[in-house]
Each structure stands twice: as structure tokens, then as C-alpha cells.
Amino acid sequence: MRTAAINRKTAETDVALTLDLDGEGKNDVKTGVGFLDHMLTLFAVHGRFDLTVACTGDVEVDDHHTVEDIGICLGQAFAQALGDKAGITRYGDKLLVMDEALIQTAVDLSGRGVLCYGVNTPTEKVGTFDTELVKEFWLAFVREAKIGMHVRQLAGDNSHHILEGVFKSAARALAIAAAIDETQAGKIPSSKGVLA
């Protein structure tokens, strides 16, 4: 089973997270940040990942530590659940429409953490949530998961729609890349023989 459980406790946050890459999209997300709860629920449903997240964070300061630390934990869980990556598809991409927003995400489960983030939201906040924190979330995720990820906004003028498109597109691309390729029979999809 490709599952992981991560616990991270600092002076700023206390995070408990579980992930099943081969799930059905079941989720129980309580981060203390409403917009992030919404985005992670979409991530689980559209990636068909079973995901639980419980976090207590210093949101009285702001949401930054909570968002970043959950990105760290989700990245660690993704890497742990993938294991040696034998038999995976490795690459995935998704062009996704969210109303007027059009988002493209491409990922490589390469063993190297790189984020190229071409998203510009027209507002600094969605409700009380700082939109700049989405990039911080994905930076933390790719560094810990050791994934190459490109996210591009091709259209969109509503910040909520744009960021929702980012999470949905990323989930779909990651699900494709993490899927088992039956033609590979447990082989590592790299000429080097390792993805690290």
C-alpha cells in the first residue's frame, strides 16, 4: 500500500497528516485556515487521494506557518508513499478549466525539487487568506517531495477561481504521474535506474 503518516511539531504548528495515493478522494481536513481546508479538500477529491490533515497553528500571527508546514508535511508524505517509485508513470500534466481561469500543471517525480510558478492573482487576498501563500505551499511541497513542477496560468481574472484551478490541476497531474504503469512491471522510469 502506498500510504504515509507524517507528524510535525514546532513552536509554531502541530501537524498530523495521512495520505493514501491509491484512495478514493476521501478526506478530513482541519487546518484552522478555511481557504486551505477548501483547497486541500479539492486536492484530495480531484487526485483521488485519501487525505487527513489536523493542524493547530499560530494563526493569530497569520496563516503563513500553517500553510508552509502543511506543504512540508504533504510533500514528505508524498515522497514516503511513493517509496522507490518503481513502476510509476513519473510524468503527468493537466490543463484544467475553472470557469474563466485556465491552469496548466506539469510534474516530474524526478527526485529533484523545483517549482516554476507562473500564476498572478489579481487580488492579494481571497477572503482573509493571503494569495501569496499558495506559492509558499507549493514550494514547501516540491522541496520535500522532490518533484519538478511547473504551474502556469493561461487565463483568469478571479483569484478564487485561479487558485482553485491550481490545486485541482496539480492534483490531477500528480495523480497521473504517481499512477502505476502496468507496462513497466516494477521498473524505475529512469535511464539512471534511480529517481533520487
User: Would you kindly state where each structural domain of the chain is located, as residue ranges?
Assistant: 3-184
> What CATH architecture does domain 3-184 belong to?
2-Layer Sandwich (3.30)
| pLDDT, tens digit, 9 for 90 and up, residues 4-39 | 999 999 999 999 999 999 999 999 999 999 999 999
Q: How far apart are CA 109 and CA 21, in angstroms?
A: 14
Q: What is the largest CA-CA distance in the chain?
A: 51
Q: How far apart are CA 176 and CA 109, in angstroms?
A: 11
**pLDDT value, residue 194:** 64
Q: Burial letters for 85-117: b for 16+ Cβ neighbours within 10 Å, e otherwise? A: bebbbbebebebebeebbbbbbbbbbbebebeb
Report DSSP state, residue 62.
-
**pLDDT value, residue 169:** 98
**pLDDT value, residue 15:** 98
| Selected residue with higher pLDDT from 95 and 195 | 95
* 3-state SS, residue 1: coil
Q: How far apart are CA 147 and CA 142, in angstroms?
A: 5
Q: CA 67, 71, 77: angle at the middle one, nearest 5?
A: 145
Packing angle, helices 159-178 and 133-145, rounded to 10: 10
| pLDDT, tens digit, 9 for 90 and up, residues 134-187 | 999 999 999 999 999 999 999 999 999 999 999 999 999 999 999 998 887 777
**pLDDT value, residue 141:** 98
